[in-house]
Structure 1
Amino acid sequence: MDSSLLLALVAVALPVLLHVLKRAKKPRAKLPPGSLGLPLIGQSLGLLRAMRANTAERWIQDRVDRYGPVSKLSLFGGPTVLLAGPAANKFVFFNGALPMQQPLSAQRILGDKSMLELMGADHRRIRGAMAEFLLKPDTLRLYVGKIDGEVRRHLGESWAGRRTVTVMPLMKRLTFDIISLLLFGLGRSPLQDALADDLARVMEGMWAVPVNLPFTAFRRSLKAGASARRIIAGITRETKGKLERGEASRSSDLIACLLSLTDDDTGAPLLSEEEIVDNSIVALVAGHDTSSILMTFMIRHLAGDLDTLAAMVREHEEIAKSKDDGEALTWDDLAKMKFTWRVALETLRLVPPIFGNFRRATQDLEFDGYLIPKGWQSAPPCSFVAFGAGPRICVGMELAKIETLVTMHYLVRWFRWKLCCKAEDTFARDPMPSPLHGLPIELEHKASTPVIVAS
């Protein structure tokens, strides 16, 4: 063989050979330590029991102590890798190969076409559509007056004139009234009440073992989700007719906004009816429960932290001085409530509404020397990522901020309160945190409390 040809072959083959030898020497990533447990059930029941007993953080720490910050288990019907710590959060939230993955129970209840489940171009299309209504400053400014009116009506009907109230159910009703008005244009009506009942049952099975039997919370939630979906589909068709007749506009509510969006190239509707319904369900669930929990626990905290409460009162009384009696808050007023929002963020740190976050591996991944196989879930718990992070950060975070600031403005100016229960630090997760007995409080009405007649 010609020597020049031989040298050429060696020159080509040597790098390939060295690469193969290097890979052969490098140990392959292995599955994390731990056990998948029983089929389908896995460790789900243990986690749910710990959440209800308010020992979920201990449950997580016990796993970390036993296996380290990376371990495998099975949750809600899927093999899962549990990741704990700031480095794990960064890995999960900013890794394009780990899109959102709800537990199988939540996925079945919320639908397949929500932006929580979709990836790539479909996710960007739907998230962009939702952002048109939930993140644009010009649209956000329109919310403030509507939310102000709902808050004052609610406090006048359900708080004013009462000596005691139970905070959690009242906050859930307030945030539901706000979100159903903004999403669907619904005021108080039998249809709104039916949707509220469906939503309450939907939440019962969101983190349940996905066993579809008549006596299970999962079956009840499936039925409630189907009922809510029918209601929203009917609202969607009705809104479409109003748009065609000129009786509604793109800024009327979320449904009207989504129906009005079209593809820039074809002029066709940007979203299908199924996509509108599924993403409206997601927005309804997310916009209702998390905000009500935040405000409930702010009230609980302020009852025992009088210095912080006094500072908040001063901030809001200063804002009120510049306004006429009965004048609604504005976007500029909210920008002055910096201390109140810091209190809200600290409350979220102490009692995060969402215990953990699930992502799905779309390819084999490696973290800290361990393999996360394609298709497995990845769950980083117990970190201050109140609205998530990365490209899937909560699209409704500004709405939650507006709800919270407006509500606290009137609460701290109109009322004083103290807790009825001595065990004020007790709460359970099912799956979201709920204080003991729903947080009953004794109310004292300030001189500035208005008399509001329900319409």
Structure 2
Amino acid sequence: MNPFLTLLLLFLIPIFFLLVKKTRSSQKLPPGSRGLPIIGQSLTLLQVMKANTAKQWLEERVKKYGPISKLSLFGKPTVFISGQAANKCGEDHKRVRGALISFLKPESLKQYIGKMDEEVRRHLEMHWQGKQKVTVLPLMKTLTFNIICSLLFGIEKGARREELIKCFQAMIGGMWSIPINLPFTRYNHSLRASSRVQEMLKELVREKRIELQQKGTSSHQDLITCLLNIHGKDNEEALSDDEIVHNVMLVMVAGHDTSSVLITFIVRLLADDPTIHAGVVQEQEDIAKSKSSGELLTLDDLAKMKYTWKVAMETLRMFPPIFGRFRKTLKDVEYGGYLIPQGWQIFWATSMTHMDANIFQEPSKFDPARFENQATLPPYSFVSFGGGLRICPGYKFARIETLVSIHYLVTQFRWKLCYTDNSFSRDPMPIPTQGLPIQIEPKKLL
């Protein structure tokens, strides 16, 4: 063969296959428009979340394009997927998940109940007692972050904890924002705060590593120490500092916002619904009467809080703290007959199934009885803590945190709302009007 033709073929064949692959991929991409560069549909999503109409907006997308469609969110090509099957997306880092499950195992949780009890009592004494009016959401965020710092990371009160809280809140404030990195934007403030949080956590990791080497502290002393102990099994390498920091930050976000929002909306519900309020108060006061003065709550006490937890689950169903989740594809993925290219992000609104009338009858009605037997619910329909094998390892931690907080709130205080507007917005977490200001009065100690 002519050498020139040979070279030409060698040059053209790769291009031919590249064009074929590109054509095939473009044909199999989900329907939809990615909108304007960088901005895409980000502003629209943020607007409908703030107006609390995001669910309706996504339902319109499903009607128009079907259960899978492409768009652009926060500067990245994105595929939106909906339905119960979408709630199964993603895989966890198995070693990290195993460490979290081990750290939060039942015998460890028993020890945390007493520490949480002390944290909640201290918080109420500092921020509630002697007050006539408080704003619930910011106080609950303070409480849950202090619990995280104390129990999960071993950070005691002081300047370090205060700086970490400040930087963490700034980081959270810009996580769902347009990725325009200019000094005055929320995105820029969030990036800088995130860098500082990571620096502080890396310093803490180094300190914990030295302490572990020198003193041989228990691997379950705190979460960071537990993650440092992931090594030596099946020839696995130890987690890097960056991996530990990444997973610690995930736990911080989940533990801080989920519990604080849940407790806040339970407080609002109890002020609005006398019947639900009476049931919770009766259950909690019965437990309080069985305790001697100053005695801490125990695992057995929490096991008796069945009705209170059903109220909490129904609150999570109707007011889920996490509206949607993102995952990044590490390789080309076939889903629903379409191609999701490597590097794209997948977005799904985990809570859309919560208000599906085919799953929950009269979904707009608050009914704790739905959770008399959670096993009867269809798989991946109630996913406030994930579902199936991917259920959140911190589920039991959040349960203890919530039940202990509600116990002391309802046994020590009465309250009423300072407004009649029961709406809320998302930024991205649900925020009740004005952060839920309430008038409070103390109860006589039982």
For the aligned pair, the TM-score class normalised by the smaller chain equals 0.7 to 0.9
CA distance in 2, matches of 1:327, 1:288: 27
* Number of residue pairs the alignment of both structures matches: 390
Separation in structure 1 between the aligned mates of residue 64 and residue 90 of structure 2, nearest angstrom: 28
Equivalence for 2:412: 414
Write the distance in 2 (CA, Å) between the matches of 1:383 and 1:173: 31
Call closer, same or farther: CA 1:273–1:84 in 2, change over 3 Å.
closer
Q: Give the distance between the partners of 1:163 and 1:358, measured in 2 at CA.
A: 41
Q: How far off is 1:54 after superposition? A: 1.7
Amino acid across the alignment from 1:138 = E
- 1:61-90 CA-to-partner distances (Å, cap 9, x unmatched) read 2323333333221112222222233xxx32
Q: Which residue does the alignment assign to 2:302?
A: 334
After the TM superposition, which residues 16-27 of structure 1 pair with which residues of structure 2 at under 5 Å, given as runs?
none
Structure 2: distance between partners of 1:35 and 1:393: 33
Q: Output the CA distance in 1 between the equivalents of 2:28 and 2:211.
A: 58
Q: Percent identity?
A: 52
User: Does the 8 A contact of 1:29 with 1:366 survive in 2?
Assistant: no
Find runs of 4+ consecutive structure 1 residues off by over 4 angstroms.
none
Which residue among 117, 129, 132 is the counterpart of 2:102? 132
Check conservation: 2:323, 2:429, Cα contact below 8 A: yes
CA contact (8 A) 1:365 1:374 kept: no
Partners of 1:74 and 1:162 in 2: how far apart?
47
Kindly state the Cα deviation for residue 30 of structure 1 after the two structures are TM-superposed: 4.0
Contact 1:40 1:74 in 2 (8 A): yes
| CA shift for structure 1 position 247 | 7.7
Residues 1:217 and 2:186 are matched in the alignment = yes
Q: Distance in 2 between matches of 1:360 and 1:399?
A: 27
Opposite residue 316 of structure 2, the aligned amino acid is L
CA contact (8 A) 1:239 1:248 kept: no
Structure 2 CA distance for aligned equivalents of residues 269 and 325 of structure 1: 50
Partner Cα distance (1:308, 1:225) in 2: 40
- The answer to whether 1:306 aligns with 2:304 is no
- Could you tell me which residue of structure 2 aligns to residue 199 of structure 1? 168
Task: Label 1:247 to 1:148 Cα distance change in 2 as closer, same or farther (>3 A).
Answer: farther
Where 2:322 maps in the other structure, the secondary structure is coil
Matched, 1:235 2:226: no
Instruction: Judge conservation of contact 2:87–2:348 (CA < 8 Å) in 1.
Output: no
**1:151 & 1:231 partners in 2: Cα distance?**
26
Partner of 1:158 in structure 2?
A: 127
What TM-score do the two structures reach when normalised by structure 1? 0.81
Are residue 323 (structure 1) and residue 291 (structure 2) matched? yes
**Inter-partner Cα distance in structure 1 for 2:30 and 2:216:** 58
Give the distance between the partners of 2:209 and 2:328, measured in 1 at CA: 35
State the match for 2:258 in structure 1: 290
* Offset at residue 265 of structure 1 (A): 4.4
CA contact (8 A) 1:259 1:269 kept: no
1:361-420 deviation per Cα after TM superposition (whole angstroms, max 9, x unaligned) = 4333131x5444444333232233101124433221111111001000111111111100
Paired position in structure 1 for 2:215: 246
Quote how far apart the aligned CAs of 1:99 are. Answer: 2.5
**Match status 1:365 vs 2:334:** yes
Residue segments in structure 1 that go unaligned for 5+ positions in a row: 1-27, 101-114, 116-122, 450-455
Distance 1:211 1:131 in 2: 38
CA contact (8 A) 1:207 1:431 kept: yes
Measure, in 2, the Cα distance between the counterparts of 1:50 and 1:414. 38
Aligned AA for 2:90?
Answer: P
Question: Gaps spanning 5+ residues in structure 2: where?
Answer: 1-25, 355-382
Separation in structure 2 between the aligned mates of residue 389 and residue 379 of structure 1, nearest angstrom: 17
Higher mean displacement: 292-301 or 281-290: 281-290
Q: SS of the counterpart of 2:211?
A: helix
Measured in 2, the distance between the counterparts of 1:225 and 1:257 equals 23
Report the AA paired with residue 258 of structure 1.
Answer: L
Per the TM alignment, residue 333 of structure 1 is displaced from its structure 2 partner at its CA by: 1.2
What pairs with 1:50-89 in structure 2 (closer than 5 Å)?
A: 50-85=48-83, 89=84
Equivalence for 2:403: 405
> 2-side partners of 1:287 and 1:358: how far apart?
18
Q: Is contact 2:96–2:227 with CA below 8 Å preserved after alignment?
A: no
State the alpha-carbon separation in 1 of the partners of residues 312 and 27 from structure 2.
41
Q: Which amino acid is the alignment partner of residue 190 of structure 1?
A: A
Moved more, 138-147 or 55-64: 55-64
